[in-house]
Structure 1
C-alpha cells in the first residue's frame, strides 16, 4: 500500500509542475495536497509548526514571484498596467484558444493588443512589450519551478 500512497503523492507533485506551464492549474494546491495526503496516509507528526511556517513563506514567495516576474517583464520593455493585464488574460485564455502554443502566444498577444488598444502604441513598440511579457512568463516559470522544487525537497527531508 505504501507504493500506492507514494505514487498518489508524486502524481500531485507532478501536476503541480505541469501547473507552472498551464496557470489554470493551481500548482500550490497540488503541492499542499501532496503534503496533506502524506499526513492522511502516513502521519501528520513530522509536520510541526516550523514546517508549516516555512511552507507558508514559500507559498507567499510563489505568488510574489509570479506577479513580480510578469511586472518586470512587461515594464522593462516599456509596458503599462494595460500590458500587464493583457498579458495575464492572454496567459489564461491562450492555452484554450491555441493548444500547446497558446501558452507563449497568449501573453504576447494579450500585452500586444492591450498596448495597441489602450495606449495607442505603435505596433513595433507593442510587439516589444508583448515579447517582454513572454520573457516575464518564462522567468516566472523557472523561478516558481525552483521554489516548488525546494518545497518538495524540504518536505522529503522532513518525512524521511
Structure 2
C-alpha cells in the first residue's frame, strides 16, 4: 500500500512541476499535495518543514495574483492599467491556457487606453504586466523544483 501512495505522490509532484510552467494547473499546491501524500507513508518531513512549505505555497498563490499588477505599476502604469491587468487576469481564466498568459497583458493595455494614455505608454505598461507574469512563473518553477528535490531525496 505504501508503494501506491508513493506512486500517487510522484504523479502529484510531476503534475505540479508541469503546472508551474502551464497556467492550467496550480503547480505549487499540487506539488505540495505530493509532499503531503508522501508524508502519509513514512513521515519523512518534520511538522515545521510542512508548515513552512504550506506558508510558502500560500504566499505564492497570493503573489500569483499580485505580481502582474505590480509589474504594470512598476513599468509606469496607472490605476487603470493595474485594474485592467487584474480584470484581464480573471477574464483570462475562462480562456486558459492562452488567456491566462495574454489576459493581464491585454487588460493592462486596454486599461491604459481607457485611462487616456497613448498606445506607446499603454504598451509599456502591458509589458510590465507580462514581465510580472514571467517573474511569477519563475518563482513557481523554483518552489516546485525545490519541493520535487525534497521529494526525491526522501523516497
TM-score range, shorter chain: 0.7 to 0.9
Deviation, 1:8, is 2.0
Q: Give unmatched runs, 5+ long, in structure 2.
A: none
For normalisation by structure 2, the TM-score amounts to: 0.77
Structure 1 residues 2-151: aligned runs within 5 Å: 4-23=4-23, 25-40=25-40, 42-43=41-42, 45-63=43-61, 65-66=63-64, 69-94=67-92, 96-97=94-95, 100-117=97-114, 119-151=115-147
Secondary structure of the corresponding residue to residue 153 of structure 1: helix
Kindly indicate whether the alpha-carbon contact (under 8 Å) linking 1:19 and 1:25 is maintained by their aligned counterparts in 2.
Answer: yes
For normalisation by structure 1, the TM-score amounts to: 0.75
Kindly indicate whether the alpha-carbon contact (under 8 Å) linking 1:22 and 1:95 is maintained by their aligned counterparts in 2.
Answer: no
Q: For 1:103 and 1:52, how far apart are their aligned partners in 2?
A: 29
Q: Give unmatched runs, 5+ long, in structure 1.
A: none
Deviation, 1:24, is 5.7
Write out per-residue CA displacement over residues 70-103 of structure 1, whole angstroms, 9 at most, x where no aligned residue: 2442122111343233223323433643x55434
Please provide the CA RMSD for this pair. 2.8
Q: For 2:83 and 2:6, how far apart are their aligned partners in 1?
A: 39
Kindly indicate whether the alpha-carbon contact (under 8 Å) linking 1:93 and 1:106 is maintained by their aligned counterparts in 2.
Answer: yes
Moved over 6 A (4+): none
